[in-house]
Amino acid sequence: MPALQESNAQKRKPEEVMEKPPLRSSTASIPISPYETSSSKAVTSSKSSSGPQQNAVVFSPELLRIYYDRLFPYEAMYDWLSYGVEKDFFNRREWSFTIQPTPEDEIYIRYQSFKDLEEFKSAVIKRQPNKIDIGAVFTHQPKDHNNLSKDVFHTEERELVFDIDLTDYDGVRTCCSGANICNKCWKYMNMAVKVMDEGLKTDFGFNNLVWFYSGRRGVHCWVCDESARTLSNDARSAVATYFELPLENEEKSLDLNTSLHPMLARSFGVLEPMFLDHLVGEEGMGLLSNQEQWVKLLKTLPEEARKAGIAAELDKEWTKRDVSPADKWKMLKSRIEKETKKEGAKKQRKFKGDESERLEMWPIETVFRHTYPRLDINVSKMQNHLLKSPFCVHPKTGRVCIPMDVSKIDSFDPFNVPTLPQIVSELESYAKENGESKNIPDWQKTSLKGSMQFFLKTFLNPMKNEQRKRRMEEKAKEEAFTGDF
Amino acid sequence: MFTSSRQSSSKASTSTTNFFYTTPPSYELSLEDFESFALSRLIVLRKIEELKVKGLDRNQYNDALKRVVNLQLPSSGPSPSAKKHNEKRDLASHFILRLAYCRTEELRRWLLTQELALFKFRLEDLEKRGGKDMSAFMKNAGISFDKITQDEKQSMQSQLRFNMSYRDFEASSFYRIPFAEAVDLIGRRLVHVRAGMAYVPGGKLVSIICARFRSHLSRSLAKAAASFSHVSSDTRIGPLLKNMNKQYTGRDFGKQHTVEGDMNASNVDEYAQRSMPLCMRQVHDGLKKDHKLKHDGRRQYGLFLKGAGLTMEESLLFFQNEFTKIMSADDFNKNYAYNIRHSYGKEGKRQSYTAFSSTTIIMGPRSNPSEVGSHHGCPFAHSGDASLAALLGKMGIGGKDRDDIMAHKKNKMYQLACAKHFEVTHPGAAKTEGVDLDGVGNHPNAWFNSSVQYWKNKEPAKKDMKGKINTPMAKVERAVVSPGSGTAKEVV
């Protein structure tokens, strides 16, 4: 039974207000009205297979109730988060709910915990949370935390998580700002996912990771390997800062030098083509497609380039004749190379970071400034940070937080993500055509099918198999030791 | 904490190179050694803390630390037996301090910080000596790193060499370490990482070994905390362990010091104007104003004056001069003289008491001067911000100097505030020859001594205080001052 008593549901308990973890990445006080008409962005999905268009409402308590009754994947979540441990593990996981009993009142309840799948499911159905967050696995059941001293009750393990949000790209995206997104700026997410995914797998050897669309303007990564879950705060902080570049301040130099870390060098190799494909041209951010833009970019060249008159030279050339944005970039790079690899230029370098090195690194810095993942580092640093649960429905957009197939990331379209009204209507259509079939799970009757199958096939089942194998190996070892065969 | 296996040979526990402290000592120790070893180590660790706030550059820091380590915890020795004794001291003192500092979170953190600094200092020294000694150390500490083969090194050259010169690369060995053990290097992108392993060049091992030491010690301290109550009940060592962190480790000002410029009843005022720390200045001014002091003030000031060289006779005279402005000589003799004689060891159990250290004044049992008419205690610790600022202002200390002192006060670094006060009132003291600043801020008498040295050096032409007093005019003035009459004139 969750800690919050029924009679107190209307009041905002002081400790709950204070409990709001300042570490939550999304904006906390969303003034949600379930009766609000959707914004033009969060319109109907354009999937031809969907039923009658639902323009007016993307999110409502009635629709949510159907979702929680029939579509939210409780079993899969329980399976996943138990990590193969049957007893005394799932019950120590913290969950938090954001509920809205009346349109004006939003209540945030922390330290929820459930002893098993049944309790979990019935709590969600009872509470109808607008948002569900997942916290850490603690030493004791979180619902008992008030009876325990701080020394005794603390986090034990927690997935390594990352959160990338498009609002952090407001400094470089010119198409949208704030909560708005479009297909143009969504490309930044593709770039971030590619760099992070490869880094986490190749450099750190993590295998069990899964990316989720956050439902509005970002992506989350959940790294679930046991080695990741047991990382101390210091260690996960180190992993996050390993990837981090100081991009929040658009004016500040990244201080890259020619001793570029292999991970950054590799990332540049991945990002430069995407920079050229998606950002420099008119169909992208237009960084090199019109004079106003390219002059702006050339202005960011270091002093040494200005001394050599590179900007003026190129500006003249590009006004004279038509050069494609991609070619402009190539010209720019080779002109810089000519300058920095001049006879004796390297010898003249007095110290690292001096002008000529800054110039040599400028193309890399520029690409990074526009494409490199912008992490919300606070999300990753601490075990007790709460992150939105996968498969939630976003109250503002009605979109489901579905997993993303990294191998097909370039074709991921956030505007084509299954929405609440859409899948509910799909359920109804299916029932009309086939009757209330109990042979297949309800999600298979909707557009969620692809996402769930991907989740099970690519992430959950392989992880469960690994766990099973490991347990069998351990058991065999133990039996060999004690002589029981 | 004493659960580590006994199998590791006595070699490990006595080897000088094992300052990783994996195994506690198993020999017996006299109580005297127990205490003195611990104190030696405490001196070193306190020095480390002191040096850290001084903002020295690396060489200055290392030199200063080397000096105190060689003095208190030398690792080598002229003879094998001396060496063995030194090893014993180093090992035992570490474990004794673990015991003394395990009981609260704050103490554990303090010990961890200072021991880590000492460890780093020794390890860097070892690494410089290089080769065999380093390997022996790692072996003794149970640290094994997986060194990659030459072939592997060549095949990964471009990734491994990204921040090294070709020459350094060729000369380096690389070690493959699970990334969670090299978090510092990973976070700063200083090493290549692949498949969950960090590839660390030999030169960066220090950082990793330090991290290992830190977590090892942290774990041990946490475990020790659980058994502390059991150990502290031992009457022989319990009290010592419980009070270890309050131990004063500077010079002993119990004995009377004959500082050049002997103090006597008539020149206490003069000394008070320029050579007394604020705590004593405050008491002195209080005495002058009220013509008496409460018990704590009498003790604090009386013992200080004793440590500053005031003889018992002069002390009696001084206090009598003041007190008899509001009482008769008889009353003074009846109520106060005995205690003064007692504090000089001339009455009762004949124990000569030691002047209070700063810690005692700040933290001691009756240190909070909350009663009206109290003037004792430490003004940096016990005065309100406004009154302290006003007091400094009245003394002519303002602007940035005052702000700096106030900042230290606000950060509860009272002794730094005191040291800063000295700095501000004795410009150029650090560079003045013959002035030893050791202990300033830790003991009022050290403050006093350093100040007297300073003024002596600054004003060699002028006669010293004693000489001044004996000018004809001063002699006359002194003759006028007698018990029960007038005030001692300030001789300028």
Describe chain A by its helix, strand, coil percentages, rounded to 5: 50, 10, 40
Residue B454: band (very low, low, confident or very high) from pLDDT cuts 50, 70, 90:
confident
- d(CA A223, CA B98) in angstroms, rounded, equals 38
Domain boundaries in chain B?
Answer: 3-140+210-245, 146-206, 268-491
Tell me the Ramachandran region of residue B224: left when phi exceeds 0, alpha when psi lies from -120 to 50, beta otherwise: alpha
Task: Map residue A463 onto helix, strand or coil.
Answer: helix
Q: Which of A348-352, B185-189, B328-332 is predicted with the least confidence, judged by mean pLDDT? A: A348-352
Q: Quickly count: other Cβ atoms within 10 Å of residue B192's Cβ.
A: 23
Q: Do A238 and B162 touch (CB under 8 A)?
A: no
Q: Which of A434-443, B5-14, B121-130, B367-376 is predicted with the least confidence, judged by mean pLDDT? A: B5-14
- d(CA B84, CA B103) in angstroms, rounded, equals 30
* Residue A29 phi, psi dihedral angles, 5° rounding: -95, 90
Q: Which of A197-211, B197-211, B236-250, B324-338 is predicted with the least confidence, judged by mean pLDDT? A: B236-250
Residue A62: band (very low, low, confident or very high) from pLDDT cuts 50, 70, 90:
very high
Q: Which residue has the higher pLDDT, A259 or B254?
A: A259
Q: Which residues of B touch A204 (CB under 8 A)?
A: 179, 193, 195-196
- Residues A272-298, mean pLDDT to the nearest whole number: 93
> Residue B436: its pLDDT value, please?
77
> Residue B370: its pLDDT value, please?
63
Would you say residue A111 has pLDDT above 70?
A: yes
- d(CA B257, CA B277) in angstroms, rounded, equals 17
Average pLDDT, chain B: 80
> Residue A122: its pLDDT value, please?
97
> Residue B109: its pLDDT value, please?
87
CA dihedral B99, B104, B107, B111 (to 10 degrees): 50
Does an H or E element contain B80, and which?
helix B80-100
pLDDT tens sequence across B74-102: 887 788 888 888 888 999 999 999 988 88
- Residues A402-416, mean pLDDT to the nearest whole number: 95
Q: Which residues of B touch A238 (CB under 8 A)?
A: 183-184, 186-187
Paired strand residues for A107: A99
Catalytic residue flag (residue A405): no
- Chain A, nearest residue to B185 by Cα: A238
> Residue A40: its pLDDT value, please?
30
ipTM: 0.83
Task: Map residue A333 onto helix, strand or coil.
Answer: helix
Which is nearest to A387 in space by CA: A143, A209, A132?
Answer: A132
Residue B135: band (very low, low, confident or very high) from pLDDT cuts 50, 70, 90:
confident
The interface residues of chain B toward chain A in range 168-227, judged by CB-CB distance below 8 A, are: 179-180, 183-184, 186-189, 192-197
Name residues whose C-beta falls within 8 Å of residue A231's C-beta, 6 or more positions apart in sequence.
Answer: A160, A239, B180
Which is nearest to A412 in space by CA: A196, A210, A193, A243?
Answer: A193
> Residue A139: its pLDDT value, please?
95
- d(CA B262, CA B270) in angstroms, rounded, equals 12
- d(CA A387, CA A219) in angstroms, rounded, equals 11
Alpha-helical regions (H) of B324-459: 329-332, 338-343, 358-363, 379-382, 385-394, 399-410, 414-425, 444-458
Which residue in A16, A94, A360, A426 is the catalytic one? A94
Task: Map residue A219 onto helix, strand or coil.
Answer: strand
> Residue B17: its pLDDT value, please?
54
- d(CA A389, CA A159) in angstroms, rounded, equals 12
Name the CATH architecture for the domain at B3-140+210-245: Up-down Bundle (1.20)
- Residues B52-65, mean pLDDT to the nearest whole number: 83
Per-residue b or e along A96-116, where b marks 16 or more CB atoms closer than 10 Å to that residue's CB: bbbbbeeeeebbbbbbbbbee
Residue B15: band (very low, low, confident or very high) from pLDDT cuts 50, 70, 90:
very low
Interface test with B, best of A204, A361, A368 (most B CBs within 10 A): A204
What residue type is A158 in one-letter code? R
> Residue B482: its pLDDT value, please?
36
Which residues of B does the annotation place in the binding site?
279, 378, 418
Which residue in A79, A106, A133, A163 is the catalytic one? A163
Catalytic residue flag (residue A79): no
Average pLDDT, chain A: 85
Residue A355: band (very low, low, confident or very high) from pLDDT cuts 50, 70, 90:
confident
- Chain A, nearest residue to B160 by Cα: A262
pLDDT tens sequence across A6-23: 333 333 333 333 333 333
Residue B480: band (very low, low, confident or very high) from pLDDT cuts 50, 70, 90:
very low
Look at the pTM and tell me if it is higher than 0.95. Answer: no
For chain A, the straight-line distance linking the first and the last C-alpha, in angstroms and rounded, comes to 43
**If you write DSSP's letter for every residue of A380-404 in order, what string do you get?**
HH-TT--EEPTT-B-TTT-BB--EE
Percent residues over pLDDT 90 in chain A: 68
- Chain B, nearest residue to A240 by Cα: B187
**E strand intervals along A23-113:** 93-102, 105-112
Would you say residue A163 has pLDDT above 90?
A: yes
Would you say residue B468 has pLDDT above 50?
A: no
Would you say residue A219 has pLDDT above 80?
A: yes
> Residue B255: its pLDDT value, please?
46
**E strand intervals along B106-158:** 146-147
> Residue A434: its pLDDT value, please?
86
Task: Map residue A213 onto helix, strand or coil.
Answer: strand
> Residue A134: its pLDDT value, please?
98
Catalytic residue flag (residue A413): no
Distance from CA of B179 to the nearest CA of A (A): 8
Distance from CA of B197 to the nearest CA of A (A): 7
The answer to whether the beta carbons of residues B61 and B51 sit under 8 Å apart is: yes
> Residue B197: its pLDDT value, please?
94
> Residue B260: its pLDDT value, please?
47
- Chain B, nearest residue to A266 by Cα: B159
Rg of chain A, C-alpha, whole Å: 26
Residue A329: band (very low, low, confident or very high) from pLDDT cuts 50, 70, 90:
very high
Q: Do B183 and A206 touch (CB under 8 A)?
A: no
Q: Which residue has the higher pLDDT, A401 or B20?
A: A401
Interface test with B, best of A150, A230, A239, A245 (most B CBs within 10 A): A239
> Residue B130: its pLDDT value, please?
60
pLDDT tens sequence across B166-204: 888 988 888 888 898 888 899 999 999 999 999 999 878
pLDDT tens sequence across A456-479: 999 999 999 999 999 899 889 888
Distance from CA of A108 to the nearest CA of B (A): 33
- d(CA A110, CA A143) in angstroms, rounded, equals 9
Would you say residue A35 has pLDDT above 50?
A: no
pLDDT tens sequence across A85-96: 989 999 999 999
